[in-house]
């Protein structure tokens, strides 16, 4: 049996793997939280699809191959078969997505979560051992059945717990704690499966063909960056649509928008215009006058009597009496 090194670069690979698992789990839980608050089915499916890429692609697959960069067999060069490596990525994303779709719709129940966890755990197992099958060595790989079964049980348990967290955990503190637990479970499953393998040299075997591990570092970095950026942009787009549309997808007014006001003197076609105090007083007077009821018609005055002529002084004086 040949020696197998799982930590060629020291603690850097497991630390990087755990951080990727934590980041993918954290983004996946945030997206499933948004899916629970979605108003319609299509919007919920979009959030669950984003969560599948974040959790299955980032939290599981990227973690797996980041840890695999530390795998080395000193007596044989290590190479990877690219088609099988990409197939393992498809297993991870698709099975996690199916599990999220199962638990993300309808009422939450323990049997449904257990069934989805079993399906998703099987997909995670298929991802891990498909990736291991993609390893090319000038040797033969053997597996310890007990550790393989243990890694499978860990995968199913981790997937079930992850799906339960996805439909029940709320709040930043709880999401962060759940992501830390999920990342620990994913890393535990990976290193348990790696511990199950042993290498037997094949004398006279030709050199293994495939992609070198360090050559895969660039695609992994690019896929990691693309996954994080794609998840962030998709989440921002979905959040923007939810902010500006109601549950049916029709446009709605902002929550801070003011209700429409009736037209007043202050509204002009060229925007708000400053008025002098005198102009404001005139405008207010006109508005008050317009709000008062208009007076009724005044009665027309009748014919005025003609003035009587004033008496002359002679007529006005009384007749004089003569004393005799």
DSSP string over 181-243 = HHHHHHHHHHHHHHHTEEEEE-TTPPPP-SB-TTTTHHHHHHHHHHHHHHHHHHHHHHHHHHH
- Read off the pLDDT of residues 56-101 as tens digits, 9 standing for 90 and up: 888 888 888 888 888 888 777 788 888 888 888 888 888 888 888 8
Q: What does the pLDDT average to over 25-40?
A: 83
Whether the full predicted model's pTM is greater than 0.75, yes or no, is no
Q: What does the pLDDT average to over 133-150?
A: 85
Which residue from 70, 14, 34 is spatially nearest to 186, judged by alpha carbons?
Answer: 14
Q: What does the pLDDT average to over 154-164?
A: 87
Q: Tell me the C-alpha to C-alpha distance, in Å, between residue 314 and each of 8, 308, 318, 323.
A: 148, 17, 8, 21
Q: Which residues contact 174 (CB under 8 A, 6 or more apart)?
A: none
- Read off the pLDDT of residues 255-303 as tens digits, 9 standing for 90 and up: 444 444 544 444 444 444 555 666 666 666 665 655 555 555 555 555 5
**Confidence (pLDDT) at 270:** 44
- Read off the pLDDT of residues 300-317 as tens digits, 9 standing for 90 and up: 555 555 556 555 555 545
pLDDT bracket for residue 146 (50, 70, 90): very high
The b/e string for 130-142 (b: 16+ C-beta within 10 A; e otherwise) is: bbbebbbbbbeee
- Read off the pLDDT of residues 104-128 as tens digits, 9 standing for 90 and up: 887 878 888 888 888 888 888 888 8
Average pLDDT over the chain reads: 74
């Amino acid at each position: 049996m040949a020696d197998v090194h799982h930590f060629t670069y020291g603690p850097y690979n497991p630390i990087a793997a755990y951080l990727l698992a934590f980041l993918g789990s954290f983004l996946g839980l945030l997206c499933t939280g948004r899916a629970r608050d979605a108003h319609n089915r299509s919007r919920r499916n979009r959030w669950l699809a984003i969560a599948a890429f974040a959790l299955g692609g980032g939290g599981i697959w990227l973690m797996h191959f980041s840890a695999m960069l530390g795998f080395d067999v000193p007596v044989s060069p290590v190479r990877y078969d690219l088609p099988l490596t990409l197939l393992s990525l498809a297993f991870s994303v698709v099975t996690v997505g199916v599990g999220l779709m199962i638990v993300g719709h309808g009422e939450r129940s323990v049997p449904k979560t257990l069934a989805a966890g079993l399906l998703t755990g099987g997909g995670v197992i298929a991802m891990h051992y498909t990736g291991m099958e993609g390893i090319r060595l000038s040797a033969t790989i053997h597996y310890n059945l007990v550790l393989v079964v243990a890694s499978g049980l860990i995968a199913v348990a981790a997937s079930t717990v992850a799906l339960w967290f996805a439909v029940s955990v709320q709040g930043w503190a709880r999401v962060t704690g759940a992501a830390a637990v999920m990342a620990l479970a994913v890393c535990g499953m990976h290193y348990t499966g790696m511990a199950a393998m042993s290498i037997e040299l094949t004398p006279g075997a030709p050199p293994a063909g495939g992609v070198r591990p360090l050559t895969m570092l660039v695609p992994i970095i690019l896929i990691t960056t693309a996954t994080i950026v794609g998840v962030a942009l998709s989440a921002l787009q979905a959040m923007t649509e939810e902010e500006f549309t109601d549950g049916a997808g029709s446009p709605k007014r902002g929550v801070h928008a003011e209700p429409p006001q009736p037209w007043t003197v202050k509204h002009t076609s060229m925007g708000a215009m400053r008025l002098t105090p005198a102009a404001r007083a005139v405008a207010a007077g006109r508005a008050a006058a317009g709000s008062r009821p208009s007076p009724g018609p005044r009665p027309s005055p009748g014919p005025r009597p003609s003035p009587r002529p004033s008496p002359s002084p002679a007529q006005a004086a009384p007749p004089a009496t003569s004393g005799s």
